[in-house]
Amino acid sequence: MPHLVHEKYPVKEKHQSILLLAPTLLVIAVFTIYPLMDGIRMAFTDQHLLRETYQFIGLENFTRIIKDDIFWLSLRHSLILTSVVVMLQLVLGLILAWAMMQPLPGMGIFKSIIMASWVIPVAATVIMFRFMAQPDIGLINIIFKGIGLDHLNKYWFGEPDFALAAIVMMHLWRNVPFYGVAFLAAMQSVPRSYYEAAEIDGANTWQQFVNITLPMIRPMIIVMVTIHVLWTFNNFDFIFLATGGGPVNATDVLPVYVYRLAWRSYTIGYSASIGVIMLIFLMIYFIAYIRLTEERTKRRWVVKNATRSLPQ
């Protein structure tokens, strides 16, 4: 009899787990999986918002993408923006976190207000930066005029050569404090004894940072970079509100181009095919990230077990 009870209990527990997970799985299926699958289906059709009927056209949309110059320009901008923004946010976030670790005057107040830029709505951030970039009355141009650089008095979001750089600055202003606070929390969790031992061995501040701090906060770095690669590559609101992809497609990125195709040209099928390409890019990134993480975990496991097997 005890044996029968033991066999039945895990089955009952399994059924209870399924029942508890069912509402969450249902929500995911309705709001994530179904739209995803429907978008993939639309990518193989000529669906148009102004037509009631559509038909399956196979790979015709993807063949069209190959010849679409605006797509390749938008893809290049997306890759440049994502790589530059994420790299600069990482470097500046590490510098900011290291600075906040130092016992400087007023650092407590600074830590309290540093997240203000991150909690301000994106629309307000864009309005603020667009006003600062206005000719004559904007703060940026007032500063340039004050230091004798009158020839730089221009609307920076309207300059094809500088508009994308202005978008980068908005990303940095908004997200670097978030990086700094996250890295600060990770740095504060590193045992102080590691640094004391390094000081005894004669390691300077830079050597301690490279050999102790960075390896110890690597998991946080990986998480932050992964999240912001996804966020920046898919970011729509910053560019749409600031430039709309202009001037002359100088800031066109894939999310803005997909929006324009779907809701201005009404070519839902073609815009869905570009969305599928974006999905493939992000899947490749995630697969590479998972493989690297698994390889790193395996190496740690091998080193840990090899160390344990050494004679004491």
CATH number of the domain that 202 lies in? Answer: 1.10.3720.10
Amino acid 205: pLDDT: 86
User: What angle in degrees, to the nearest 10, is found between the helix axes of 34-42 and 268-309?
Assistant: 130
Q: Which residue has the tokens 């429907």?
A: 38
Token pair in block for residue 81: 């923006």
> Is pLDDT of 255 > 90?
yes
Mean pLDDT, to the nearest integer, of 18-42?
Answer: 86
Amino acid 41: pLDDT: 93
What is the spatial distance between Cα 101 and Cα 188, in angstroms, rounded to a whole number?
A: 8
Count of domains observed in the chain: 1
Amino acid 172: pLDDT: 95
Residue 161 lies in a domain: yes
Range of the domain at 201: 69-299
Token pair in block for residue 88: 């600069």
Query: HEC states along 239-307?
Result: HHHHCCCCCCCCCCCHHHHHHHHHHCCCCHHHHHHHHHHHHHHHHHHHHHHHHHHHHHHHHHHHHHHHH
Residue 9 lies in a domain: no
Token pair in block for residue 94: 């590490």
The residue type found at 5 is V
For residue range 102-124, what is the model confidence (pLDDT) as tens digits?
888 888 888 888 888 888 899 99
Mean pLDDT, to the nearest integer, of 84-111?
Answer: 90
What is the spatial distance between Cα 131 and Cα 140, in angstroms, rounded to a whole number?
A: 9
H or E segment at 73? helix 69-101
**Whole-prediction pTM:** 0.84
Place 89 in a pLDDT band, splitting at 50, 70 and 90.
Answer: very high
For residue range 141-162, what is the model confidence (pLDDT) as tens digits?
898 888 888 888 889 899 898 9
Amino acid 1: pLDDT: 45
Amino acid 301: pLDDT: 56
Amino acid 234: pLDDT: 92
What is the spatial distance between Cα 236 and Cα 228, in angstroms, rounded to a whole number?
A: 13
User: What angle in degrees, to the nearest 10, is found between the helix axes of 268-309 and 254-263?
Assistant: 150
> Is pLDDT of 309 > 60?
no
What is the spatial distance between Cα 195 and Cα 111, in angstroms, rounded to a whole number?
A: 23
Place 296 in a pLDDT band, splitting at 50, 70 and 90.
Answer: low
Token pair in block for residue 101: 């670790």
Task: Give the highest mean pLDDT range of 82-91, 186-195, 206-215.
Answer: 82-91
> Is pLDDT of 125 > 90?
yes
* Upstream peptide bond of 121 is cis (omega within 30 degrees of 0): no
Token pair in block for residue 259: 């929006």
**Range of weakest confidence among 29-38, 50-59, 89-98, 120-129:** 29-38
Per the CB < 8 A criterion, the answer to whether 266 and 48 are in contact is yes
Mean pLDDT, to the nearest integer, of 276-303?
Answer: 77
Q: What is the 8-class DSSP label of residue 107?
A: H
Place 79 in a pLDDT band, splitting at 50, 70 and 90.
Answer: very high
Amino acid 140: pLDDT: 87
User: Comparing 1 with 245, which gets the higher pLDDT?
Assistant: 245
> Is pLDDT of 300 > 70?
no
Amino acid 297: pLDDT: 65
Q: Is 81 exposed, middle or buried (0-12, 13-18, 19+ CB in 10 A)?
A: buried
What is the spatial distance between Cα 266 and Cα 245, in angstroms, rounded to a whole number?
A: 17
Place 310 in a pLDDT band, splitting at 50, 70 and 90.
Answer: very low
Residue 307 lies in a domain: no
**Range of weakest confidence among 141-155, 224-238, 270-284:** 141-155
> Is pLDDT of 2 > 80?
no
HSE of 169 in the Cβ direction (CA atoms, 13 Å)?
Answer: 15
Residue 17 lies in a domain: no
Per the CB < 8 A criterion, the answer to whether 268 and 48 are in contact is yes
